[in-house]
Amino acid sequence: MELVDAPHSKCGTFGFVGSSPTAPICLMDTYKRLPLKLIKGKGCWVWDDKGKKYLDAVAGIASCSLGHSDKKLAAVLRKQLNTIQHISNLYQISEQEELGEWLVSNSCAEKVFFCNSGAEANEAVIKLARKYGHQKKQISEPIILCAKSSFHGRTLATISATGQEKYHKGFEPLVQGFSFFEYNDLTSFINLQKQIEENGPRIAAVLIEPIQGEGGIVPGNISFFKHLRDLCTKHKILLVFDEVQTGMGRTGTLWGYENLNIEPDAFTLAKGLGGGHAIGALLVKEKANIFEPGDHASTFGGNPFACKAALTVATEIQNRKILVNVNVRGEELKEGLREIVAIYPNDLQEVRGIGLMQGLVINEKSKLTPTKIIEMAIKEGLLVISAGQNVIRVVPPLIITKNEIRKILKKLNTTFNLLIN
């Protein structure tokens, strides 16, 4: 087969004659990109370069909280670009202070550190946990406990904290200081804790998702998390939540921890915080507020432009009563997905999730794969994404309407009908 380059472009697409184009030749081959080029978006819809329209139930992987090309967000950011967009943290930043005030006023946290992504936020909390172990517990080599099947980012420290071996391969030696227990399994956690602390305190923190995302959309068990909170309090261990995907209304409450009736000592944010713009954050209670000048920093973290985007998302969530919409639309989505499972019981197993973070679990014996489902859905004008080995993740913008939920369900049903029948 003949390898061809796109004409008139050093960064053209390449592929084999007769096949779909793959990655542009100027980009590193780090993504399995679908043969789909999206060039425009409005609300919950996007269009490709051929003019075809798609209902977006991916939302930038749960990032575009207000959908695409939101009028309010666009107007605010145009104004911000004409005012100031970056000055660095060498100086006071009013937009950062305003966003920080909103976050602490609407959460259990008391202080905020801003960065650019979820991975960076989790890097920050890993450093914080280690300092806490050294400073508050006099541990020479602090251990952070994490859950199996977790996901915390792609940097070397955050993949080391991720409880999935597939992300580790090829990047050894990993960062030391992490141990893993079974998610939602109190016996597994207690046994691991006892094993590590046989000869004295060594555990500084627990880093855990209130709902596992990349692990397959697995909600936290309320009883497990209650006992986990009690154990961390008893042993003076920091309880840290990775709310990168669950935060900012995705589950129908502002924060995922609210679904578990407990409060963490610290939690991380990104994705939906900026509504599609790059911003991350680490929020802490006073007991975890131990960073000092020089301990951590970020050149672009908390810049005026990103903070204005996040503050707009925050205020719009409140002004438009978006949390109510997430709860109502989330129930409609879950019920509709359950009906689809009932239609195809040999291929689909169950529905898991909270709010607009839902997962459709494929039976292990089914010949269906997430890739086949995603590709067929694209043909039907629907964008969905996988989570874990056998789950289709549905995470549309938080502004989605009842009619658009119906369209997601109709397109999914058609997708399965075509694949199975």
Predicted pLDDT of residue 11: 59
Which residue, of 319, 353, 387, is where some domain finishes?
319
Read off the pLDDT band of 108 (50, 70, 90).
very high
In a shared domain, residues 288 and 142? yes
In a shared domain, residues 330 and 294? no
CA 9 to chain centre: 34
Predicted pLDDT of residue 301: 97
Which residue, of 285, 301, 319, is where some domain finishes?
319
In a shared domain, residues 203 and 291? yes
Predicted pLDDT of residue 186: 98
Kindly tell me if the per-residue pLDDT of 2 is higher than 50.
Answer: no
Which residue, of 319, 335, 360, is where some domain finishes?
319
Amino acid at 165: E
Q: Specify the CATH number for the domain of residue 58.
A: 3.90.1150.10
In a shared domain, residues 135 and 271? yes
Burial 41-75 (b: 16+ CB within 10 A, else e): bebbbbeeeeeeebbbbbbbebbbbbbbebeebee
Name the token pair of 380: 């039907």
The residue that leads in pLDDT, 231 or 6, is 231
Q: Are strands 357-362 and 14-16 parallel, antiparallel or unpaired?
A: unpaired
Give 26: exposed, middle or buried? Use CB within 10 Å, 0-12, 13-18, 19+. exposed
Read off the pLDDT band of 24 (50, 70, 90).
confident
How many domains does the chain fold into? 3
Instruction: Determine the average pLDDT of the residues in 320-339.
Output: 98
In a shared domain, residues 182 and 248? yes
Instruction: Determine the average pLDDT of the residues in 333-348.
Output: 98
What is the domain extent for residue 13? 1-31
d(C-alpha 274, C-alpha 45), whole Å:
19
Give yes or no for a contact between 80 and 258, defined as CB atoms under 8 angstroms apart.
no
Reported as a single tens digit per residue, the pLDDT across 366-382 is: 999 999 999 999 999 99
Q: Specify the CATH number for the domain of residue 270.
A: 3.40.640.10
Predicted pLDDT of residue 46: 98
In a shared domain, residues 52 and 108? no
Read off the pLDDT band of 6 (50, 70, 90).
very low
Lowest-pLDDT range, 2-16, 208-222, 285-299, 364-378?
A: 2-16
Reported as a single tens digit per residue, the pLDDT across 59-70 is: 999 999 999 999
Read off the pLDDT band of 25 (50, 70, 90).
confident
In a shared domain, residues 127 and 22? no
In a shared domain, residues 9 and 43? no
Reported as a single tens digit per residue, the pLDDT across 209-245 is: 999 999 999 999 999 999 999 999 999 999 999 999 9
In a shared domain, residues 293 and 337? no
Instruction: Determine the average pLDDT of the residues in 123-140.
Output: 98
In a shared domain, residues 245 and 383? no
Read off the pLDDT band of 15 (50, 70, 90).
very low
Three-state DSSP class for 407? Answer: helix
Kindly tell me if the per-residue pLDDT of 91 is higher than 70.
Answer: yes
% of the chain with per-residue pLDDT over 70: 95
Q: How far is CA 184 from CA 223, 233, 265, 417, in A?
A: 9, 18, 19, 34
In a shared domain, residues 332 and 266? no
Predicted pLDDT of residue 18: 38
Instruction: Determine the average pLDDT of the residues in 301-328.
Output: 98
pTM exceeding the 0.85 threshold for the entire prediction: yes
Helices and strands of the chain, counted as H and E runs: 11, 19
Residues 6+ apart with CB under 8 A from 301: 89, 113, 114, 115, 116, 120, 279, 280
Reported as a single tens digit per residue, the pLDDT across 182-212 is: 999 999 999 999 999 998 999 999 999 999 9
In this structure, the dihedral spanned by the alpha carbons of residues 131, 135, 141 and 145, taken in order and rounded to 10 degrees, is -60
Cis-peptide, bond into residue 219, ω within 30° of zero: no
**Measured CA angle at 162 (ends 161, 165), to 5 deg:** 120
Q: Which helix (H) or strand (E) holds 50?
A: none
Read off the pLDDT band of 16 (50, 70, 90).
very low
The pLDDT mean for the chain works out to 94
Kindly tell me if the per-residue pLDDT of 7 is higher than 80.
Answer: no
94-105 vs 304-319: helix crossing angle, rounded to 10 = 40
In a shared domain, residues 299 and 352? no
